[in-house]
Structure 1
Amino acid sequence: MKNKTVVRSMDILNLFVDHAALTFQEIIELSKIPKSSVYRMLISLEEMGFIVKGADSKYRLGLLFLTYGNLVSSRLDIRQIAYPIMQELHNELKEAINLIIRQGDEAIYIEKVDVYQKVRLYTAIGRRSPLYAGACSRVILSFLEDDEINSYLENVELKSFAMGTITDKEILLESIKNARTNGYTISHSELEDHTSAIAAPIFNNKGEIIGGISIAGIEANYQKDQVDFFAKKTIDAANIISERLGFVNKNPLFQRE
């Protein structure tokens, strides 16, 4: 059985999801809770630090929520969140699904699902690649802040890993621009010959790029109309992961249908 006082207190707190500040009367009207009950609950919530009353007599969420928010975001495990989504994508497409995060000027593969993909790929768990090479790595580079991208390009030496590795900075810049326009990156034979990948960005609760998810397999499967199909699937999966990490999606480019 639900505790009525707790439920009503949560109803009051939930009002602040859509309202930055509310007067006592506004809380009564919006919550439809009796005046005496609202008064008692506001006193308790204020004493515990959940809300604060300003000099303008309006109530706002307290700093305690900032503490809780930081704790929740810091304890979210991207692998735990992403894995079932990766499994579902792999079962549908029968292509390898990879999850990466950034570590300095490199990306590291931290999860992979490839039960149905029998072709050996570069993307083993624990393997690293520079941010410019491969779709999954480059999707992180593409959605960094402009000054960070410029700094990276000024200092990086573009080395070849396979016959399709991008070693020209102008071509790399064009690829970054395309990723920002299309919402995904694509690579052909960049880390390993005759393999391809399509990747989409994963954002945290602050809207910062923290990783990427990719679909990967033999190059012959990543041509023409199949690219658009795989790209949509990858973007949708990345969006779900981002949202579960607390990302509030306001960019039409990353809206799920």
Structure 2
Amino acid sequence: MQNKNKTVMKSMNILNLFRLHHKLTLNEIVQLSGIPKTSVHRMVGSLEDMGFITKDREGYYSLGLLLLEFGQLVAERLDLRKIALPIMESLRDNVDEAVNLIIKDNKEALYVEKLDTRHPVRLFTKVGRRSPLYAGACSRAILAFLPDEERDEYLNEIELKPYGQGTIIDKQKLKIILEQSRQNGYAISYSELENNTCSVAAPIFDFTGHVVGGLSVAGPDVRFNKERLPELIKKVKQATAEISKKLGWSG
């Protein structure tokens, strides 16, 4: 911590509050951040001047459009997203289900691209959403293929919490399922992040053979019956193999 600028860190803590809250007053920011009001007032003023946050007539602060611009630049410059997008479009058109692209960001999974299905009943995930690595097929496809030491360290540190009625919260069971995913090359989840949903996912590898992301098709579980699963597994694995090949993977 001694090598980090404390003011910058506190400012980032304030910005992080808006990941969970659409709008906040100055007093709410003080209460949620635990930072003294004089410091919050100074940092919020600077963030507003730079365009990171904006203030409405009622005195509520929200994220500014500058962050949208930065987010768009990050998305445009993310090579994995560029390479995967046309393959995702083909997969979506082929199976007519939502397709998600996820990467590992520290100890979480981060949605970096999503294509919706044409079905009127769909899942409402969005780019920028985060989820734990242990919950959901796409997240778990990444976790399963991490280096053994990194995966074991994560499992030893993480506290498993339920998100949906199917979330795996038993570590021994999770380890068995992760090993099955490594052997089979894919993962399936039922109601792990949201109830009455299903997802089929497979990992994406770079030229070194390291897992760099996951790709999934997801939707209401009524459309993912046992007769259809083999087809979805096959197509998802074909899509991730194609993306991995474009990233230089030859496995």
Same fold (TM over 0.5): yes
Q: Which residue of 2 aligns with 1:224?
A: 226
Q: Which residue of 1 aligns with 2:199?
A: 197
| C-alpha distance in structure 2 between counterparts of 1:119 and 1:125, whole Å | 19
State the aligned residue count. Answer: 175
Q: Which residue of 1 aligns with 2:166?
A: 164
- Map Cα deviations across residues 217-257 of structure 1 (whole Å, 9 max, x no partner): 111122212111110100000000000011112xxxxxxxx
Q: 1:76 to 1:206 in 2, by over 3 A?
A: farther
User: 2:138 aligned with 1:136, yes or no?
Assistant: yes
Ranges in structure 1 where 5+ consecutive residues have no aligned partner: 1-74, 250-257
Q: Contact 1:122–1:191 (CA<8 Å) still a contact in 2?
A: no
| C-alpha distance in structure 2 between counterparts of 1:96 and 1:215, whole Å | 5
Deviation of 1:115 (Å): 4.1
| C-alpha distance in structure 1 between counterparts of 2:173 and 2:240, whole Å | 25
Deviation of 1:121 (Å): 1.9
Runs of 4+ displaced beyond 6 Å: none
Q: Which residue of 2 aligns with 1:36?
A: none
Deviation of 1:213 (Å): 0.3
Q: 1:245 to 1:76 in 2, by over 3 A?
A: farther
Deviation of 1:117 (Å): 3.7
Letter in 1 for 2:115: V
| C-alpha distance in structure 1 between counterparts of 2:86 and 2:176, whole Å | 33
Residue aligned with 1:225, SS: coil
TM-score by length of 1: 0.66
Q: Which residue of 1 aligns with 2:68?
A: none
- Map Cα deviations across residues 43-78 of structure 1 (whole Å, 9 max, x no partner): xxxxxxxxxxxxxxxxxxxxxxxxxxxxxxxx8711
Q: Which residue of 2 aligns with 1:235?
A: 237
Deviation of 1:200 (Å): 0.4
- Map Cα deviations across residues 85-137 of structure 1 (whole Å, 9 max, x no partner): 11111111110000001101101000011141433425311100010000000
Q: Contact 2:98–2:122 (CA<8 Å) still a contact in 1?
A: no
Q: Which residue of 2 aligns with 1:118?
A: 120
Residue aligned with 2:139, SS: helix
Letter in 1 for 2:224: Y
Counterparts of residues 76-95 of structure 1 (less than 5 Å): 77-95=79-97
Letter in 1 for 2:214: G
Q: 1:113 to 1:91 in 2, by over 3 A?
A: same
| C-alpha distance in structure 2 between counterparts of 1:173 and 1:123, whole Å | 26
- Worse-superposed segment, 219-228 or 200-209: 219-228
TM-score by length of 2: 0.67
Letter in 1 for 2:220: I
Letter in 1 for 2:197: T
| C-alpha distance in structure 2 between counterparts of 1:111 and 1:221, whole Å | 22
Q: Which residue of 2 aligns with 1:187?
A: 189
Q: Contact 2:133–2:142 (CA<8 Å) still a contact in 1?
A: yes
Superposition RMSD on alpha carbons, in Å? 1.3
Q: Which residue of 2 aligns with 1:153?
A: 155
User: 2:176 aligned with 1:174, yes or no?
Assistant: yes
Letter in 2 for 1:78: L
Q: Contact 1:96–1:117 (CA<8 Å) still a contact in 2?
A: no
Percent of aligned pairs with the same amino acid: 49
Structure number, greater radius of gyration: 1
